[in-house]
Amino acid sequence: MRRRWLTRSALLALGCAAVLAVAACGGDDDDSADTSGGGGAANDDVAAVVDALGGSAEFGTPEQGGTFRIENTDFALFDAFDPTGEYFGSDWTIYSNLMLRTLVSYNFSTAEEGGNDLVPDIATEIPEPTDGGKTYTFTLKDGIKFGPPVNRAITSKDIKYAIERTAVNKAALGSYSNYYRPIVGIEDMEAGKAKTASGIETPDDKTIVFKLTKPAGDFPYALAMPASSPIPQEVAKCHPQRGEYGRYVIVTGPYMTEGSDKLDVSSCGAQKPISGFNPNTGLKLVRNPNYDPSTDDTSIRQSYPDRFEIGVNTNLDNIFDKIERGELEGSFETPPNATLKRYLQDESIRDRLRINAGDRMWYMYMNLTTPPFDDVHVRRAMNLAMDLEGIQRAWGGPVQGATPTHVLPQSMIRLDDYYPFQQPPFSGDVAAAKEEMKQSKYDTDQDGVCDAPECKGVIHGNRNFAPWSNQTAVIEQSASQIGVELDSRELSRSAIQIATGEPKRKMQTSSGTGWGKDYADPSTFMVLFDGRNIQPEGNNNQALVGLTAAKAKDVGADIPASGVPPSVDADIDACTALLGQERTDCWTTLDKKLTEEVVPWIPLMDATAIDLLGPAVTRYGFDQFGTEMALAHMAVDPSLQK
């Protein structure tokens, strides 16, 4: 889902540079080094600097007006900007912060500032479910209208139409249409057995009722996603093909695409793409004259600038040069190594660098059906032996992410002082790893080093570019200390995706894999461990947790002699049905069970999201939902712009 990829340039030196930078401006470096032990202490210092750069910030007094300018190396598109199927975090931020309102939404801030909590947006309030958690009834606020040229009040039927579009429009295929499948009738629509979803009732223009097939505690989150924003049928019916509506999006939020008012909707034939959006060159947004701020809340959208320009610039370095010079305000891209280093080192500009939780986990999976990883003791020993501090350094230090101790990102399930395998500084506990390995059937002489032939030439996939390629040597070295000799194959991103996504290829392990959340409920991560979700192609449950004999036959995998891999399908179902704290507790328990008992991964990096701000930015916020800068809360001082 994310558009954030690390810069292609090597980041290897960054951690050291950051450490030096902090050492240069800190006061008690010698003491901390003495008491905490070298690199770990230094990393702690950098981590403190990184922590200080999180959250919202003001640089002067934010005021209305001006143009907020962003450039990215491309306009990240999954479905040509059609909200029904678009699946990039940056696009979600643009939609939700600026263009499209949904029944419920977020306040577009960090998790610590409540950015993961739902708030009513189009709806008057977030209802408690009835009927044992299977019915949600929402009432719509008055005064919310579509932007030009539609200019009419939104109705509950526009929301029903938008959600039904996910079931019939090919735009939604493979996107996140699965989040609406709990609604009665949606699956029938997907199968072509029904033309409408009987589980979405619109008794009047201001009321919409969702009836679910079973309780789904995360269902309200699905109603905060852009696909559920009202869509005017009179425009969208003209664009049934995948992605087509992306050039004709009619807004409900504070901004509209420039030229929307010129769109002729008198007939389908008369509609020509809105001039302010070209997927190859960018998007220009101006204020929506039909937006009534009294129907919104400034905690959700402050909408300071009069205009947003989101352009494309293929020269990544040039984007950040422009930001530094004040010719741009920001970018969704990650700054290059040299720029990051300079900002971290220079206290006078450091606060223009903002670092927040990226809600993305990079991990090394271990295929539970292939020796030696069919033995949980080997998997645990790998977790114990891995030099995670070295991996963090290879990535660029704490600025790029924290060392995780469990499978879910810390911003989703917070587990403080939870160290199931290693203690800080996470540089590998070889002694404990050997003790664990002694219990494995692959350590025949029980000396703590795997001596079985299954531990030799273990195929390890990885991406062939930094920062992933930087970690290969660290991983190989760590594994070799307990006798697991990795045969590393570094491949392109797509090749790795294919190799790890097809179980029949029997890739034993890969460290070039990651996952980001769709919304702040752990269920969006649990698809990675759901045995029913294992697919022959594009499979994301690479460890094959919960693989059954029947499924193994379907996807071309083998069931090892030791038996079928452990399953957490029942745990997932149990947690899915719960609400509130019970639900959180359930996911927490499952997170720990996966981490300690199933052990499908070695979690490598709990990645950050990094923003660099231009000198004209007077207010900054971070949108935890899209994990991008919160455009709804950004402000700019035009007098400081170039």
Q: Which is nearer to another protein, 130 or 492 (CB)?
A: 492
Residue 265 burial by CB count (10 A; 0-12/13-18/19+): exposed, middle or buried?
middle
Q: How far is residue 298's CA from residue 45's CA, in Å, rounded to a whole number?
A: 36
228 and 221 in contact (C-beta within 8 Å)?
no
426 and 47 in contact (C-beta within 8 Å)?
no
Given the structure tokens 């939700």, which residue do they identify?
96
Q: Which is nearer to another protein, 25 or 527 (CB)?
A: 527
Omega within 30 of 0 (cis) for the link into 232: no
Q: Which helix (H) or strand (E) holds 585?
A: helix 580-593
Structure tokens at 294: 């009294």
Q: Which residues contact 30 (CB under 8 A, 6 or more apart)?
A: none
Q: Which is nearer to another protein, 136 or 176 (CB)?
A: 176
Closest CA to 493 of 459, 471, 463, 460: 463
Q: Which is nearer to another protein, 248 or 291 (CB)?
A: 248
For 31, list phi and psi in degrees, rounded to 5.
-60, -45
Q: Which is nearer to another protein, 233 or 464 (CB)?
A: 464
Shortest spacing between CB 327 and another protein, in angstroms:
7
Q: How far is residue 545's CA from residue 450's CA, in Å, rounded to a whole number?
A: 23
Q: Which is nearer to another protein, 50 or 572 (CB)?
A: 572
Q: How far is residue 90's CA from residue 631's CA, in Å, rounded to a whole number?
A: 10
3-state secondary structure 145-214: ECCCCCCCECCHHHHHHHHHHHHHCHHHCCCCHHHHCCECCHHHHHCCCCCCCCCEEEEECCEEEEEECC
Shortest spacing between CB 177 and another protein, in angstroms:
9
Given the structure tokens 């977030």, which residue do they identify?
126
| Cα–Cα–Cα angle for 453, 456, 462, rounded to 5 degrees | 145
Distance of CA 485 to the CA centre of its chain: 33
Q: Which is nearer to another protein, 259 or 536 (CB)?
A: 536
Q: How far is residue 125's CA from residue 131's CA, in Å, rounded to a whole number?
A: 18
Q: Which is nearer to another protein, 527 or 577 (CB)?
A: 527
State the residues that interact with another protein by CB under 8 A.
1, 74, 77-80, 82, 87, 170, 173-176, 178, 241-244, 246-247, 279-281, 311-315, 317-318, 321-322, 325, 327, 492, 494-495, 497-498, 501, 527, 533, 535-538, 540
Shortest spacing between CB 83 and another protein, in angstroms:
14
Q: How far is residue 483's CA from residue 440's CA, in Å, rounded to a whole number?
A: 12
Pairing of strands 622-623, 628-629: antiparallel
User: What's the residue count for the chain?
Assistant: 642
Given the structure tokens 């990226």, which residue do they identify?
358
Shortest spacing between CB 7 and another protein, in angstroms:
14
Pairing of strands 57-58, 617-620: antiparallel
Shortest spacing between CB 494 and another protein, in angstroms:
3
Shortest spacing between CB 341 and another protein, in angstroms:
18
Q: Which helix (H) or strand (E) holds 605?
A: strand 601-612
